[in-house]
Amino acid sequence: MTNDSHSVQIIILNGAPRSGKSSIARAVQEHFEGPWINLGVDSYNAMTPKRYLPGIGLRPGGERPDLEELVPFFYAALYESIAIHASLGLNVVADLGHHDSYSQPLGILSDCARRLEDFPVLFVGVRCPIETIMQRRDIVQEGRETLYLSATEEVPIPEPVQRWQDEVHRPGIYDMEVDTSVLTPLECAEAIRHQLDLGIPEPSAFERIAGAR
């Protein structure tokens, strides 16, 4: 293990539920060299008391002002632990759904970006058209049978699903983007590796976001 923070890499995958973030994170863990630790919404929520769920997965719309008080602290703690992993030489791939559509803007993404300012971060926009998102919401996944709103004849796209689509890519500043409706998870991971080999653009997306207070 190394303590050289410049030899480690951090990948933040940002996208709506069902966009394919976790599948890319798994492909990174399986195919990239070295230890890649997955710290994201699923792993953080597994550690969050049930009564505070959906925790950092709180959807856009400002429906839960009671939870909003905690969400910035959850995110801050998660990003600090990403920084600690990286400072110990452990690569991190984090799959998240950042947005700022709470009952009032919370500025979480720029705060998170500032917490990683000592590290190289590749910020990846995980795009997926809403039609494909809706199809994936119907795929039955063990333990998540009731988690996802599905289409009905009257409401082909439920409002919360549309809200995710509208809000998750604001401000839309990324180092690169992938579209999971045209690339497999492994192809997305390969595109990410290619970008890492080329180098993170300067200034990086996180540097730009951190500066935008």
Q: Which residues are catalytic?
A: 42
Buried b (16+ CB within 10 A) or exposed e, 147-183: ebbeeeeeeeebeebebbbebbbeeebbbbbbebeee
Q: Judged by CB under 6 A, which of 150, 172, 184, 199 binds ligand ATP?
A: 184
Binding pattern for the stretch 55-94 against ligand ATP, x by CB under 6 A and - elsewhere: ----------------------------------------
Of 9, 22, 110, 165, the one binding ligand ATP by CB under 6 A: 22
Q: Say if residue 35 carries a ligand binding annotation.
A: no
Note whether 120 binds ligand ATP by CB under 6 A: no
| Cβ atoms 120, 36 nearer than 8 A | no
Question: Least distance (Å) from ligand ATP to the CB of residue 102?
Answer: 18
The one-letter amino acid code at 212 reads A
Determine which residue in the list 17, 55, 120, 125 makes contact with ligand ATP, applying CB under 6 A: 17
Nearest approach in angstroms of CB 66 to ligand ATP is 23
Question: How many other β-carbons are positioned within 10 Å of the β-carbon of residue 51?
Answer: 6
Q: Which two tokens stand for residue 101?
A: 């559509």
CA distance 191 to 209: 23
Per CB under 6 A, residues contacting ligand ATP are: 15, 17-23, 42, 95, 136, 139, 180, 183-185
